[in-house]
C-alpha cells in the first residue's frame, strides 16, 4: 500500500504503471482476505513476542424473544474467531477494496482512453484504437 501511495503522489507519475500497481494491490487484498488463518498465526506469534493476549473472547449467547409466526431466527455468531473474521477482518478488507476500486475508476478509464498515445504503442495498436474510439471522426483512408 505504501508503494502505491508514494507512486501516486510523485510529480512524474506514469498513469499506466500506476493503474497496473493499483490492480495488483486490489488482487493482493482479495487474496489476503482468503488467508485469514495465516494472518491469525502471524498475529498470534507477534502477540506472544509482545506478551499480549491472543485469544478471542467468548460471549454469552443472548436469548431473543421469538414470535409464534417466525420461520427463522437470526443466527448470531457465538464463536469469537468467526465473529472477528466476518465483522472485522473481512469487513475491513472489503471496505478498502471497494474504496480503491471506486476512487481510481476514472484514472483507469483515462488510462484506457489514452493508452494508444503512449510511446510504447505500435502502429497497428494505434490504428485499432482509432478505429474503435474515433471511427466517426476519421476517414476510411486514414486506417489503411
Q: What is the largest CA-CA distance in the chain?
A: 77
Question: CA 55 to CA 136: how far, in whole Å?
Answer: 65
pTM for this entry:
0.62
**Residue % of the chain over a pLDDT of 70:** 66
- Taking 90 as the threshold, does the pLDDT of residue 77 lie above it? no
Torsion-angle region of residue 64: left (phi > 0), alpha (psi -120 to 50) or beta? beta
- Most confident segment among 12-21, 57-66, 89-98: 89-98
Confidence of residue 72 (pLDDT cuts 50, 70, 90): low
Output b/e per residue, 18-36; b: 16+ Cβ within 10 A.
Answer: bbeebeebbeeeeeebeeb
Chain-centroid distance of CA 101 in Å reads 6
Torsion-angle region of residue 125: left (phi > 0), alpha (psi -120 to 50) or beta? alpha
- Most confident segment among 11-25, 69-83, 90-104: 90-104
Task: Indicate the SS3 state at residue 144.
Answer: coil
Q: What is the pLDDT of residue 16?
A: 78
Amino acid at each position: 500500500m505504501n508503494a502505491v501511495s508514494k507512486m501516486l503522489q510523485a510529480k512524474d507519475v506514469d498513469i499506466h504503471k500506476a493503474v497496473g500497481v493499483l490492480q495488483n494491490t486490489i488482487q493482493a487484498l482479495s487474496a489476503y482476505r482468503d488467508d485469514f488463518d495465516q494472518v491469525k498465526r502471524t498475529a498470534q506469534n507477534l502477540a506472544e513476542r509482545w506478551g499480549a493476549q491472543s485469544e478471542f473472547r467468548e460471549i454469552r449467547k443472548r436469548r431473543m424473544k421469538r414470535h409464534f409466526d417466525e420461520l427463522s431466527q437470526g443466527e448470531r455468531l457465538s464463536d469469537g474467531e468467526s465473529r472477528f473474521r466476518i465483522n472485522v477482518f473481512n469487513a475491513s478488507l472489503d471496505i478498502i477494496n471497494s474504496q480503491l476500486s471506486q476512487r481510481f475508476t476514472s484514472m483507469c478509464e483515462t488510462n484506457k482512453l489514452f493508452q494508444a498515445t503512449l510511446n510504447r504503442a505500435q502502429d497497428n495498436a494505434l490504428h485499432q484504437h482509432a478505429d474503435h474510439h474515433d471511427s466517426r471522426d476519421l476517414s476510411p483512408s486514414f486506417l489503411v
